[in-house]
Amino acid sequence: MAEHYLPDNLPSHIQHYIDGSFVDSAGGETFDVLDPVSNSNYATAAAGQRADIDLAVKAATKAFNEGPWPRMKPRERARVLNRIADAVESQEARLAELETFDSGLPITQARGQALRAAENFRFFADLIVAQFDDAMKVPGAQINYVNRKPIGVAGLITPWNTPFMLESWKLAPALASGCTVVLKPAEFTPLSASLWAGIFEEAGLPRGVFNLVNGLGEDAGDALVKHPDVPLISFTGETTTGQTIFRNAATSLKGLSMELGGKSPCVVFADADLDAAIDSALFGVFSLNGERCTAGSRILVERSIYDEFCEKYAARARNIVVGDPHDPRTEVGALVHPEHYAKVMSYVEIGKTEGRLLAGGGRPEGLETGNYVAPTVFADVAPEARIFQEEIFGPVVAITPFENDGEALALANGVKYGLAAYIWTQDLTRAHNFAQNVEAGMVWLNSHNVRDLRTPFGGVKASGLGHEGGFRSIDFYTDQQAVHITLGPVHTPKFGAPAAH
C-alpha cells in the first residue's frame, strides 16, 4: 500500500467565519473531520449550534440593511465577482488537492471543479450587468414597470459530493443578486469551504455579506432553516432531508429551492452508436465515485443489443482503475465517509439477491483500508428491485432490458425520482418524443452530463423543487415588485359620494 498522501499546511482546526472573523462555536462545540483514504481524523471543526447561526444571521442582516452590497450598482458588484473568479482560478491546484483529500474524488476530476466554480462567478457577473426588467405601457393611460430587488439573507446548505463547486452554484447568484448569505457546508467535507473567506476578503466583498457556519444538519442546518430572519433557503442534498426542510420552512413561508436525489435512466436503443453510449453510460455512473445526483444509475437497453451491451459494459467496468484519489491514473477513488461506504456496501449485498452480478461486488483487491468500492454492475434487474428504485449514490449500476419504446418509457418513469435522463438513439423523431415524455428536469440526447450555465437546473417529482441556473437563479434571490402609475385622469368609482341629480 502506498504511503498515505497528506497535503501541505493542512489545518488541524476549522472555524466558522462570522462578520469578517474566524471564530469558534459560542459554546465551544466541535466535531471530528476524517479523510476517506485512512479514515483517521485529521482536524476538528467548530460545530455550529443555534447561537452561532443567530450570530451569523445577525451579521448578514446588518450587512444587508446597512451595508453597501445590496445598494451597489450591478457593474460594481460584477467587478467583485470577477475578482472572486480570478482568486479561485489562481488557487486551482490547491483547491483540487484539498477537495481530493477531503472528499476522496479522483484528482483529475477535482481539477475541473475549481474552474467551473470560477466560471459560475463570471457568468453571474455578466448576467447582472446585462440584465434588464420589464416595462409595460398603455400610451397616455398607464405605465407599469418591474423593480427587482434582493430579498435578504439567503441560507445556503450544500452537499459533500463536489463541495466547492456546488457552493459556488449558490454563492455566485445569491451574491450577484445583492443578497447576503449564511453558508452551511456539509459536515463530511468542510475543508474547501474554509477557503471562501480568504477569497472573498481578497476580492473586496464587504464584511458581513458572507458568513459560514460549520456543523451537523440537525443542529446548524436545522437552526438556519427555522431562523425567522432568513427568508430564503437553497438546499442541495438527499430527498428525505429535503422533506424535513420543507416541513420546517413552512412556519415562516420561506422561499425554497431544492435539488434533491436522483435515480436517472440511461436509455440505449438498438440504433444507438454503441461505443459512444457505453463510454457515456460508464462515465455517467462511475465518475465522481458514483456520488453524483445526476448519475445514470439505471441503464435501460433494447433487447436486441442487450447481451452485447452487458458484455462490453461489464468488461470496461472491471478495468476501471480504483485507487488513491491523488494518483492521476485513478478513475474511482474512495467514498466520502465510513457511514456512506457502509450504506453503499449494503446495497451491493441487496443487489446480489436482485440481479446478475457482472462486475465488482465488493472491496477491490489490494485496498484493505479506506472507503473503496469496486465498480459494480448488476444485469437483469427487475423494475421493482430496490437497486432499481432507490438512490445508492455510489459506483453501482443496474441494467434492465426493454422490448419497445413504450416499455422503455414506462421503465424510465417508473421511479419516484425525476432529475436527469440520458437517451441514445439515431432516430430524431423518437429522440425528441422520448425526451419530451420522460419525467426528468434535464435530458441529454446522445451526450453526457454537459450543461450550459444559462439553462434551468432542477428536477421533478422527488428530485426537487424549483429551478436554478441562469436568470432563474436571479429570480429566486430577488423580489420582482410591480410598480403601476396612471398617466392620465384617474377614473375611480366614487364610493360614498352623493348621488348626482
Q: How far apart are CA 303 and CA 282, in angstroms?
A: 19
What are the beta bridge partners of residue 72? none
Active-site residue 293, yes or no? yes
CB 254 within 8 A of CB 245: no
Nearest to 34 by CA among 267, 261, 439, 338: 338
Per residue, the 3-state secondary structure of 121-148, as one string, reads HHHHHHHHHHCCCCEEEECCCEEEEEEE
Q: What are phi and psi of 35, to 5 degrees?
A: -100, 145
310 included as an active-site residue: no
Report residue 379: phi and psi, to 5°: -110, 170
Residue 281 neighbours by CB under 8 Å, 6+ apart: 266, 268, 296, 299, 313, 397, 422
Distance of alpha carbon 133 from the chain centroid: 28
| Catalytic residue chosen out of the listed positions 99, 293, 310, 468 | 293
* Marked catalytic residue, from 259, 291, 331, 468: 259
| Distance between CA atoms of residues 220 and 28, nearest Å | 14
Tell me if 419 sits within 8 A of 438, measured CB to CB: no
Pair 80, 205: CB distance under 8 Å: yes
Q: Which of 326, 324, 337 is nearest to 8 (CA)?
A: 326
Q: What is the residue-wise DSSP string for 365-421? A: TT--SSS----EEEES--TTSHHHHS---SSEEEEEEESSHHHHHHHHH-SS--SEE
Q: How far apart are CA 107 and CA 56, in angstroms?
A: 33
Q: Is residue 383 within 8 Å of 400, Cβ to Cβ?
A: yes
Output the nine-digit C-alpha cell for 478: 430577488
Provide the total of helices (H) and of strands (E) in the chain, helices listed first.
15, 21
Active site residue ranges = 259, 293
